[in-house]
A and B are shown apart, each in its own frame.
Chain A
Amino acid sequence: MDIVGNLLNTLDQMVNDQFDSVEFKSFLGVPLTLERGRFYVIQNALYTSNRRDCWGYVQGSAPLAVKRVIWEHESDELINDPRAGMDHYALTVKQGEVIGLKAEDFETAEIPPMVRSCFYAWHHIALRSHWLTAYTASHMLERRNNGKIVKGGGMSYRVGKKFENELGINLKKMISLDVHVVADTEHSENISEMFGRYVKTTEDRDFVLQGARDSMAIDRAYRGALGFYMAQIQ
């Protein structure tokens, strides 16, 4: 198989392996209460903001053609996703209404220490790495949310199902999670196409793998941290 085909298979394996990690199992194993659900939804909005930071940085360092792909990607995220009729941050805030959250709850939210550390780590990769590493690090978080690749469903789908099964809130009512089940599938496919164009050598491949490994490690730490904080909420 060619270098890109092998690489994509490896990336697929890595995003599937995330769900077997102790951190992911711990996070997804914490029983949801309404308070824990509120905490998660607020933290997810902050995570979405961090994604906007990182994609901006990646756009800064990427070649022109890739900048354009990222700009298109950010259209849904930052300006308006036609699937939802609003940008993804507004969507998360709106989703909060279902579980009794107000816009002020998002504005005044604190970022817990272990989560903050993960956000800074993602910033660091996005700002300081080779562009292929930075690009892959951000892409992997959407690939990990792609239900066509992750057996058993991506993260948004699984969390949405927890809200449904444990709190009785239909996934369709969790509008942000529901949109991301579809949006991240499309996003990860569009972004992934660039590997075919730019990965030509083993050095290119290694830049990609570096970004994938680092981002998935931070993602595990992040999910572990969320699980830890959620478990503290009685």
Chain B
Amino acid sequence: MEAAVSIESMWAELEQFQSAPFKRLLGAKFTKARAQQFSIQMAYYVQNRRDCWGYVQGSAPLDVKQLIWHHEEDELIGQKAQGKVDHITLAVKEGEVLGLSAEAFERTARLEGGEVCFSAWIRLAQRPWLEAIGGSAILEMRNSGELIQGGSLSYRVGAILERDLGIPMKKQINNAEHVVMDLEHAHLLMQVARKHATTDAARAAILRGASESLMIDRVYRGHLADLVESLP
């Protein structure tokens, strides 16, 4: 319980959304060209999440492996019974409302700065499992409207696209899905922490991974802000 509390309180202290890169990205006006490139790069981000969660699953204890496996069902496979597709397909499908084809996602290279951040996240995911899970799960907490005052990142980006391009949130199927799904996924770290973060060292490891991941996240958002600002 104590670990879960300290992770939640860490969130308030770090104030990710008050950081310069987040402010710059979320302060930009999104034209169609900017939204298209942002959307493509975010699909790469989603793919990198799949890499990292795989590594975390590899090193975690059996009960945590099982939690991650369920988590990856939504992301990697989708919920066929509910007619929901996986999140990569969803990202590509959302691109259609921005005028993007599937080929546009395939032929557009990863942002250089993004590539570096992806490597950093992978390296973090290959560290001892408590650090690794802190690093991956904190990104879902950052996307939880329950935990973030003013709305999660997906919600805020969705609001910008609605404001600047007149695309209603319900047509932004990927953002809309993440606004809902990451509420659920954000609880994963709390579940794990309650059972496994039973020592100061274990709690410190989770916080270290989370903190490092948020740092990479700020750098990544800075690179996205650069990209957006470089386009008309």
Write out the residue numbers on chain A whose beta carbons fall within 8 Å of the beta carbon of B53.
Answer: 60
Bound CA span A58–B125, Å: 13
Q: Is the CB of B88 within 8 A of A78?
A: no
Q: Are B62 and A71 in contact (CB under 8 A)?
A: no
- Chain A residues with CB under 8 Å of B51's CB are 60-61
CB nearest to A89 among chain B residues: B62
Bound: A74/B66 CA distance, A? 9
A197 smallest CB distance to B (angstroms): 16
Choice from A55, A68, A71, A75 contacting B58 with Cβ under 8 Å: A55
* Residue of A53, A62, A72, A87 with highest tally of chain B CB at under 10 A: A53
Q: Which A36-94 residues have C-beta < 8 A from chain B?
A: 49, 52-62, 64, 67-68, 70-72, 74-75, 78-79, 87, 89
Please, which residues of chain B bring their CB within 8 A of the CB of A208? none
B54 lies within 8 A of chain A by Cβ? yes
CB distance from A134 to the nearest CB of B (A): 10
Are A78 and B66 neighbours in the complex by a CB distance under 8 Å? yes
B16 interface residue, CB < 8 Å from A? no
Q: Is A125 an interface residue (CB 8 A)?
A: no
Bound together, the chains give a CA A54 to CA B125 distance in angstroms of: 14
Q: A57 near B55 (CB under 8 angstroms)?
A: yes
Mask, B63-101, CB within 8 Å of A = 1, is 001101110110011000000001010000000000000
Q: Known: A56-B57, A56-B59. Is A79-B66 also a contact (CB below 8 A)?
A: yes
Q: Is A126 an interface residue (CB 8 A)?
A: yes
B76 and A67 contacting across the interface, CB-CB below 8 Å:
yes
A127 interface contact, C-beta 8 A:
yes
Size range of the chain A interface in the assembly: 20 to 34
Given contacts A57-B55, A64-B50, contact A127 B126 (CB under 8 A): yes
Interface residues on B, range: 20 to 34
Given contacts A60-B55, A79-B69, contact A71 B47 (CB under 8 A): no
B52 contacts the other chain (Cβ, under 8 Å)? yes
CA–CA, A52 and B76, complex, Å: 18
Question: Which B residues are in CB contact (< 8 Å) with A55?
Answer: 58
Nearest A residue to B47 via CB reads A64
- Which one of B54, B60, B73, B77 lies within 8 Å of A59 (CB-CB)? B54
Establish whether residues A57 and B58, one from each chain, have CB atoms under 8 Å apart when the complex forms.
yes
Contact (Cβ within 8 A) B69 A67: no
| A67 close to B65 (CB less than 8 A) | no
Which B residues touch A52, using CB under 8 A? Answer: 58, 62, 65
Which one of A49, A56, A68, A87 contacts B55 once the chains associate, using CB atoms below 8 Å? A56
Shortest Cβ distance from residue B78 to the other chain A in the assembled complex, whole angstroms: 10
What is the chain A residue whose CB lies nearest that of B52? A60
**Chain B minimum-CB-distance residue to A71:** B76
Question: Given A53-B58, A56-B59, A61-B54, does the pair A78, B76 have CB atoms closer than 8 Å?
Answer: no
Question: What B residues does A78 contact at CB under 8 A?
Answer: 62, 65-66, 69
A137 to B90, alpha carbons, bound, how many Å? 32
A73 to chain B, nearest CB (A): 11
Alpha-carbon separation in the docked complex, A56 to B64 (Å):
12
Q: Please judge, given known A-B contacts A52-B65, A78-B66, A79-B69, whether A60 and B125 are in contact too, CB under 8 Å.
A: yes
For residues 12 through 31 of chain A, which have their beta carbon under 8 Å from a beta carbon of chain B?
none
A79-B66, A127-B126 known; A59 and B57 CB under 8 Å? Answer: yes
Q: Verify A71–B69 contact, CB threshold 8 A.
A: yes
Residues of B within 8 A of A126 (CB): 58
Instruction: Name the one of B50, B56, B68, B70 contacting A67, with C-beta atoms under 8 angstroms.
Output: B50
Known: A56-B54, A56-B65, A78-B69. A64 touches B88 (CB 8 A): yes
6 smallest beta-carbon distances between A and B, as pairs: A56-B58, A60-B54, A59-B54, A56-B57, A57-B58, A60-B55
Question: What are 28 residue pairs bridging A and B, where the CB atoms are less than 8 Å apart in the complex?
Answer: A52-B62, A52-B65, A53-B58, A56-B55, A56-B57, A56-B60, A56-B65, A56-B68, A58-B54, A59-B54, A59-B57, A60-B52, A60-B53, A60-B58, A60-B122, A60-B125, A61-B54, A64-B47, A67-B54, A68-B76, A68-B77, A70-B54, A71-B72, A71-B77, A72-B77, A78-B62, A87-B66, A127-B58
Interface residues, chain A, with chain B CB atoms under 8 Å away: 49, 52-62, 64, 67-68, 70-72, 74-75, 78-79, 87, 89, 126-127
